Chains A and B, each alone.
Chain A
Amino acid sequence: MFKTFFFTEIKYTLKQPMVYIFLALFTLLVFGATASDNVMIGGSVGNVHRNSPYTLAIFTSILSIFGLLVATAFFNNAALRDHSNNFNEILFTTPLSKAGYFFGRFFGALILSTIPLLGIFLGSYIGTISAPAFGWIEAERFGEFSSEMFINNYFLFILPNMFFAGAIIFATANKWKSTVISFTGAFLIIIGYIISSTLMSDIDNETIAGLVDVFGINSYSLESKYYTAVERNTLSPGFNGILLTNRLIWTGVGILILIVSYTLHSFKEKNKKLKKQKASKAKKVVDFNLPELNLAFNGHTEWLHLKSFFKISFLSIVKSVTFKIMFLFSAILLVTDLFAGFEYYGLKSYPLTYKVIDSITDSTSLFLLIILVFFSGELIWRDRDSKINEVMDSSPHTSFISLAAKALSLIAATSILNVFFIICGVIYQLLNGYTRIELNVYLLDFFYTNLWAYVIFSGVMIMIQVLVNNKYIGYFVSILLIFVWSIMLSIFDVESAMLHLGEGPSLMYSDMNGFGPGLLGAFWFNLYWVLLSILALLLAGAVWNRGMLGSLKSRIVAANKQVPKNYKYITLSVFVVWAAVAGFVYYNTQILNPYDTSDEREQMAVDYETKYKKYEHVAMPKITDAKYFIDIYPYKRDAKIKAILKLTNETDVAIDSLHLSLSDFWETELNIPNAKLVHNDEELDYVIYQLEPALQPQQTIEVEVRSEHISLGFSNSRGNTSIINNGTFLNNMEVLPGLGYNPAGELSDKNDRKKHDLPPKDRMPALTKDSCKYHMANYLTDGRSDFINVETVISTAGDQTAIAPGSLLKQWTEDGRNYYHYKVDHPSQNFYSFISARFEKATRKWNNVDIEVYYDAKHPQNIEMMMDAVERSLEYYSTNFGPYYHKQCRIIEFPRYSTFAQAFPGTMPYSESIGFVIDLEGEDTDNNIVDEVIAHEMAHQWWAHQVIGAHMQGSTLMSESFSEYSALMTMKQLAETPMKMREFLKYNHNSYLRGRGQELEKELPLYKVENQGYIHYRKGSVVLYALQDYIGEDKVNQAMRDYLNEYKYKGAPYYSTSLDFLDHLEPQVPDSLQYLITDWFKEITLYDNRVKEANYKELDNGKYEVTMEINSHKIKADSLGNENRLAMNDWVDIGFFLDDDEEQLYQEKRVLINQDVMNFSFVLDTLPAKAAIDPRHLLIDRVYSDNIKTISEE
């Protein structure tokens, strides 16, 4: 019996087209992702093969989500086919076996539902064969296939996922006999996945996240999170670890569901529930009289029609099961997301209104879109589906009124949801004790963005349903329009928002700058879309099918005849207004503010390189002095800059031409004495001036540069966020033309370069000891200047403060504008910022230095702590490294369009979204990221601004790694226990290990780092922190201080390198630890330490003997992640924790580990809870959790 049903199920379905359509879809999708750079799933970049086991596993696990649709189709069908064909009463009266029927159908559907997913392998295979053959992608970006890749993915992802999903869907389908509820079952699975992904964002919850993810996607990404390129190219997901546990758990749950469903399953018809009739109340006696009717058909009637249609449609949406389900799901997601908080390095940000709004958008927008698409079809087809269409169609109303009411009811339903979410958000804020609730921001955000999106989608989706005249094809077209259309546009390199339904400049609310520069554009785009939406409804109203279904053509003919004249006039006038708005938007976004598309930019970078690369090493003078006169008009969003630059020929040849790279953004006028413009490439903004006479060595000329930016109208995107109403932020590199050819303008991605036949490019010149031309320049200003004096006169609006580098010499007001005159106190890097905003200012004095924090009035919370951090930094750095040469330390808040803090000489702009909005009032905040960032930027005043490395590998070690180290040292002073530092550093360990997995080219050892963040920040901090622990803080500081003293404020001809620092470090390291310099700085070294056994026994004297067995290896990796395990001969800490929370470290001891397996035995006074190797997590270890083991009795 089982066999019969099993094979019938398979045979039946194989005869249907559905399975082949799905198979083709998956094949096509993966083929596209394998063979084209334009389609992205997951992602394989850099050195990872496009068909690597990792990529395939990511494809498989992610496409499992889409596989749900397949599963729903097949399992629902298998369970309900007999019911929907009304065959059940015949079939179930025959003597068939329940088990055979139930499991035959189920397993038939299971096998079937995995078939479409085989398209993943098929697509990957075809892509691998054809992409190199047709020359789309080079053969070297593909690897070998192995059978393991197919088998493991099939049995780890496809089969278990389909089984679990199938069990749920089959069970719900059998129980409720309704397709809608089956879809709900499928949806529940997705919710589980999303919740798991939310958990994943915090590393403390990773394991739970890996276990609760029903698809195993997060379990796999957890397993593979530290995979290097080599591992991604060779390792298939394996039957072990958390992935296997996860699979077993969910398969088990699936079996359970199946068994329960089987026991509940019965062939008998479900008894229809009979509701008890309520005892009828005493009847009121009513007089029924046919009233005298006064019929009226006028404007008022139409209004009543609109109201009545609206009421009926609205009720039908909000009372429907689908709506309630969507509502519930989005609410669950929102609440989950909100209560996950706004985590940042273990701290939480205040629940700011804009964060809550972001959270609402993230967790609910998909559901709202589904509601719009689904109900646009439902409402249009409801009359027909309910068979009341003929009555409605023959009633005296205008079709447009009925369609408009439907659109309005969609808008109202979604808006009400939105308002509900806002209420949830406000409650969440209040629960957190946060009282700066900005209802106006909530409402304005809704008004500026979502409301109009609903209007647009409602109108257009309704038009689609009316024009297409088939509900499901209508859905299909709608979904196509939403998802596929934008992919199409990006393939054809069209970026105009006017063609992306509902798009426009995106708004980002900032406490400083409100809704920001996109607002004007958003207004016009909204108008453009709303008019289009009304036009769509008018059009739909004209061709709306009243009565019998006719072809579109016949309906247009009929419309022509029947549509009243004034309707045509109204439509025409809306069209005219819309066209005028469209013209205006076009004028603003394409003519007034033209932009380059991504393909154009790529091509320009290629042209720039091919045309001008030859000038890269042409001799250029250096900027040796700069004076700025800057006028910022924040409310007009204009800026005018005049710079007087002294250019000095520091080479030993005469310079006869000046090469300059201009920018589109600035209108630049150059006034160069005795110069003639000989080349002017307006396309690529490259100009060459001939100097007559030539600039002789050591000779200086004074050049005047005038740059201005005038904001006109609005643009296609948000527009520039550097000159804005409140929080203008410009740096000198962007306001002035670049001297000479700029290699940073070249394409950097190696595959992009190959596509355009450009030679491979080194990220950075190689590290050399012997003085060469790369020692002439530092990596920041690239040889265009050394340490110079800068003077600035800057003006801004009367209610704003403008800040430039250096001491404020003079301040005055003129014509209602504020003027400031600044001058640096010590020659500095030619790298600084100009800022203007409405600021509050907090000050403090430390020795002769003014500590100043410029902040927004809304963010006073952390200012004192920030000044403490500055003070601590000044104290520690000047004691340990050397004097501070500026007379002020300024921290300046800027809007959250960027999320960073940056150090310029004496000034440190700091984004509002970090630091200013993080809640430092709770517990455990004495050691926090806000302080760390400030201490880091402060450290740059020494490391980068006093000494800076040459333009070659390894230089960011002395700026970024040193700053991280310095910051850690200020924190270490505060840390009450050593375990606090471990808590903080775990983020750095994690980021380093993840970062090396995502390396696009090659991982380098620390001393050759090529501006790679995961190395110079993350590994650098970990290594230097461990180093000071091994050789002593004072020794490391001594080495750094010696290095600083030798190269401080020294420019060309010799900028120092990491080798120069290592020369100073080596004498500070005892011979026994010299290996650390090789292991940690010069090579890539990881450790695999673990406590295998840890036991204790109580001794007669009341003491405890604790024994532990330790396994230990050292791992050397090459630049791609190939590993080589070596024997240990290294010093490593071992120790104990008295408590389970690992807060009380006990009896830590550094021992020499020189065997793979070693046993240690200690006699201790107190019995500790856990034993550990490297208890403070100094060494880089991919699996740290096995370093610690709970001690058990022998």
Chain B
Amino acid sequence: MSTLKITNLSKTYPNGVKALDNVNLELSNGMFGLLGPNGAGKSTLMRTLASLQEADTGTATLDDIDIFKQPGELRKVLGYLPQEFGVYPRITAEQLLNHIAVLKGITNKGERKDLVAYLLNKVNLYDIKNKHVKGFSGGMKQRVGIAQALIGNPKLIIVDEPTAGLDPGERNRFHNLLADVGEEVIVILSTHIVDDVRELCTKMAIMNLGQIVFQDTPQNAIDSINGKVYQKIVTRTDLEDYARKYSIISNKMVGGQPLIHVFSDEHPENGFEQVNPNLEDVFFSKINTANVLV
């Protein structure tokens, strides 16, 4: 059982953006979902944990490895899929994975070969392993990225927006793949796709403006707002009006007209109907505390 402990982590960029604001987290084995809108600081946190970036203050340890002081040690037990994953031109998937396997300390040639074959099969690329990766579609590249993050015996796997660009079938495959390994190691899945977290994660946190604004299990998250979310289809012209009167957490178009969700301890009447909240409502309720129209 490994433990990742993040204490008082802060980072401010030279342009004044506070990407991490006193972040504290403690994680152990299992899938951990990190939700947050764009610009919330998720990727900064991921990169910091992947030893690619220094924090201004705070510490992060994985078991007895101090990530900032012993980045080399951390890298030996890390699997990382960054938000943007590209590949070398003129190199095949097999060559690339083999190279990374060498880097990850798999020194036995036979083991490496078996592992690469195994992973390629898992991500459904085995048949085209000798093709140049550059010619792959975005989804295929992403699958290579997933495969490489699983190489070695990582104790900590960080995947940043892994399902972007995957078709539904591939996404399922990926979920299964992660679920396979997720029980024995710490997996941090950063995403803005709520369903990813709902389907996979045992624990989750929501991040906004550099801060962890919520942390619990997905079920508890939903339970926490059960009975407090109401919806109504309104006209476009009335939208502003509703925004002033109610705590709107989201609005989206349904059949050409806005469907608004509001958060309220009591039934707001006025044609609103109560709905069973989903994780998306949790997400919006946590980040949209100012209740602005989004």
In the assembled complex, which residues on chain B have CB atoms less than 8 Å from the CB atom of A561?
A: 69
Contact B118 A308 (CB under 8 A): no
Cα distance A491–B80 when bound, in Å?
Answer: 53
Contact partner of A308 (CB less than 8 A), chosen from B84, B103, B114, B115, is B103
Cα distance A1069–B84 when bound, in Å?
Answer: 95
CB distance from B237 to the nearest CB of A (A): 34
Q: Give the residues from 209 to 238 in chain B that come closer than 8 angstroms, CB to CB, to chain A.
A: none
CB distance from B133 to the nearest CB of A (A): 9
Contact B75 A391 (CB under 8 A): no
Contact A547 B53 (CB under 8 A): yes
With A304-B102, A315-B91 as contacts: A292 and B86 at CB distance below 8 Å: no
Binding-face segment, A281-289, A692-700, A1116-1124: A281-289
Contact B85 A388 (CB under 8 A): yes
Cα distance A304–B89 when bound, in Å?
Answer: 22
Contact A301 B105 (CB under 8 A): yes
Contact A395 B72 (CB under 8 A): no
Contact A386 B88 (CB under 8 A): yes
In the assembled complex, which residues on chain B have CB atoms less than 8 Å from the CB atom of A398?
A: 72
Contact A396 B52 (CB under 8 A): no
Contact A312 B127 (CB under 8 A): no
Contact B102 A291 (CB under 8 A): no
Contact A391 B127 (CB under 8 A): no
In the assembled complex, which residues on chain B have CB atoms less than 8 Å from the CB atom of A308?
A: 98-99, 102-103
CB distance from A295 to the nearest CB of B (A): 4
Contact partner of B75 (CB less than 8 A), chosen from A290, A296, A396, A564, is A396
Contact A305 B102 (CB under 8 A): yes
Contact partner of B114 (CB less than 8 A), chosen from A289, A315, A316, is A289
- The answer to whether A617 has its CB under 8 Å from any CB of chain B is no
With A295-B106, A312-B95 as contacts: A288 and B85 at CB distance below 8 Å: no
CB closest chain-B residue, reference A561: B69
In the assembled complex, which residues on chain B have CB atoms less than 8 Å from the CB atom of A547?
A: 47, 50-53
Contact B76 A396 (CB under 8 A): yes
With A395-B75, A564-B72 as contacts: A290 and B118 at CB distance below 8 Å: yes
- The answer to whether B289 has its CB under 8 Å from any CB of chain A is no
Contact A388 B86 (CB under 8 A): yes
Chain B 100-123 interface 0/1 with A at a Cβ cutoff of 8 Å (1 = within): 101111111011001101100110
Cα distance A47–B163 when bound, in Å?
Answer: 77
- The answer to whether B90 has its CB under 8 Å from any CB of chain A is yes
CB closest chain-B residue, reference A307: B102
Cα distance A301–B69 when bound, in Å?
Answer: 22
Contact A297 B85 (CB under 8 A): no
In the assembled complex, which residues on chain A have CB atoms less than 8 Å from the CB atom of B106?
A: 293-295
Contact B75 A288 (CB under 8 A): no
Contact A395 B104 (CB under 8 A): yes
Cα distance A309–B88 when bound, in Å?
Answer: 12
CB distance from A580 to the nearest CB of B (A): 31
Contact A297 B76 (CB under 8 A): yes
Contact B90 A315 (CB under 8 A): yes
Q: Give the residues from 113 to 141 in chain B that come closer than 8 angstroms, CB to CB, to chain A.
A: 114-115, 117-118, 121-122, 126-127
- The answer to whether B71 has its CB under 8 Å from any CB of chain A is yes
- The answer to whether B280 has its CB under 8 Å from any CB of chain A is no
Cα distance A280–B130 when bound, in Å?
Answer: 13
Contact B118 A291 (CB under 8 A): yes
Q: Give the residues from 132 to 154 in chain B that come closer than 8 angstroms, CB to CB, to chain A.
A: 145, 148-149, 152-153
CB distance from A669 to the nearest CB of B (A): 67
CB distance from B47 to the nearest CB of A (A): 6
- The answer to whether B54 has its CB under 8 Å from any CB of chain A is yes
Cα distance A137–B102 when bound, in Å?
Answer: 65
- The answer to whether A825 has its CB under 8 Å from any CB of chain B is no
CB distance from A769 to the nearest CB of B (A): 82
Cα distance A307–B82 when bound, in Å?
Answer: 25
With A386-B86, A547-B47 as contacts: A312 and B91 at CB distance below 8 Å: yes
Contact A291 B111 (CB under 8 A): yes
Contact A394 B80 (CB under 8 A): yes
Contact B89 A391 (CB under 8 A): no
Cα distance A296–B126 when bound, in Å?
Answer: 26
CB distance from A1142 to the nearest CB of B (A): 58
CB closest chain-A residue, reference B103: A395
Contact B80 A295 (CB under 8 A): no
Cα distance A316–B100 when bound, in Å?
Answer: 16
Contact B105 A391 (CB under 8 A): no
In the assembled complex, which residues on chain A have CB atoms less than 8 Å from the CB atom of B110?
A: 291
- The answer to whether B27 has its CB under 8 Å from any CB of chain A is no
In the assembled complex, which residues on chain B have CB atoms less than 8 Å from the CB atom of A392?
A: 103
CB closest chain-B residue, reference A309: B99
CB closest chain-B residue, reference A303: B107
CB distance from B261 to the nearest CB of A (A): 36
In the assembled complex, which residues on chain A have CB atoms less than 8 Å from the CB atom of B145?
A: 391
CB distance from A896 to the nearest CB of B (A): 45
Contact B76 A295 (CB under 8 A): yes
- The answer to whether A387 has its CB under 8 Å from any CB of chain B is yes
Contact partner of B84 (CB less than 8 A), chosen from A288, A295, A387, A393, is A387
Cα distance A288–B99 when bound, in Å?
Answer: 20
In the assembled complex, which residues on chain B have CB atoms less than 8 Å from the CB atom of A395?
A: 75, 100, 103-104
Cα distance A564–B88 when bound, in Å?
Answer: 30
CB closest chain-B residue, reference A300: B107
With A297-B76, A387-B85, A388-B86 as contacts: A393 and B153 at CB distance below 8 Å: no
Cα distance A1037–B117 when bound, in Å?
Answer: 93
CB distance from A642 to the nearest CB of B (A): 70
Chain A 418-445 interface 0/1 with B at a Cβ cutoff of 8 Å (1 = within): 0000000000000000000000000000
Contact A548 B52 (CB under 8 A): yes
Chain A 533-577 interface 0/1 with B at a Cβ cutoff of 8 Å (1 = within): 000000000000011101000100010011010000000000000
- The answer to whether B189 has its CB under 8 Å from any CB of chain A is no
In the assembled complex, which residues on chain B have CB atoms less than 8 Å from the CB atom of A564?
A: 72
Contact B115 A291 (CB under 8 A): yes
- The answer to whether A320 has its CB under 8 Å from any CB of chain B is yes
Contact partner of A393 (CB less than 8 A), chosen from B52, B100, B127, is B52
CB closest chain-A residue, reference B69: A561
Contact B52 A312 (CB under 8 A): no
- The answer to whether A640 has its CB under 8 Å from any CB of chain B is no
CB distance from B68 to the nearest CB of A (A): 8
Q: Give the residues from 879 to 937 in chain A that come closer than 8 angstroms, CB to CB, to chain B.
A: none
Contact partner of B126 (CB less than 8 A), chosen from A286, A297, A300, A546, is A286
Contact A397 B86 (CB under 8 A): no
- The answer to whether A390 has its CB under 8 Å from any CB of chain B is yes
- The answer to whether A382 has its CB under 8 Å from any CB of chain B is yes
- The answer to whether B87 has its CB under 8 Å from any CB of chain A is yes
CB distance from A249 to the nearest CB of B (A): 40
Contact partner of A391 (CB less than 8 A), chosen from B51, B85, B111, is B85
CB distance from B119 to the nearest CB of A (A): 8
- The answer to whether B78 has its CB under 8 Å from any CB of chain A is yes
Cα distance A1072–B80 when bound, in Å?
Answer: 102
Contact B105 A297 (CB under 8 A): yes
In the assembled complex, which residues on chain B have CB atoms less than 8 Å from the CB atom of A305?
A: 102-103
Give the residue among A295, A307, A308, A397 with the most B Cβ atoms within 10 A. Answer: A295
With A289-B114, A386-B86, A388-B86 as contacts: A295 and B53 at CB distance below 8 Å: no
Cα distance A304–B102 when bound, in Å?
Answer: 7
Contact A295 B152 (CB under 8 A): yes
CB closest chain-B residue, reference A388: B86
CB distance from B150 to the nearest CB of A (A): 10
With A312-B95, A558-B54 as contacts: A288 and B118 at CB distance below 8 Å: yes
CB closest chain-A residue, reference B121: A288
CB closest chain-A residue, reference B84: A387
CB closest chain-B residue, reference A554: B54
In the assembled complex, which residues on chain A have CB atoms less than 8 Å from the CB atom of B50?
A: 390, 394, 547
Contact B127 A283 (CB under 8 A): yes
What are 10 A-to-B residue pairs whose CB atoms are below 8 Å?
A: A290-B114, A293-B111, A294-B106, A294-B108, A309-B99, A315-B91, A319-B90, A388-B85, A395-B103, A547-B53
A308-B98, A312-B95, A397-B75 known; 12 other A-B pairs, CB under 8 Å?
A: A283-B127, A288-B118, A289-B114, A295-B105, A316-B89, A390-B82, A391-B145, A394-B75, A397-B103, A547-B50, A558-B54, A562-B71
For the complex of A and B, list the 3 residue pairs with the smallest distance between their C-beta atoms, beginning with the closest.
Answer: A547-B52, A387-B86, A390-B82
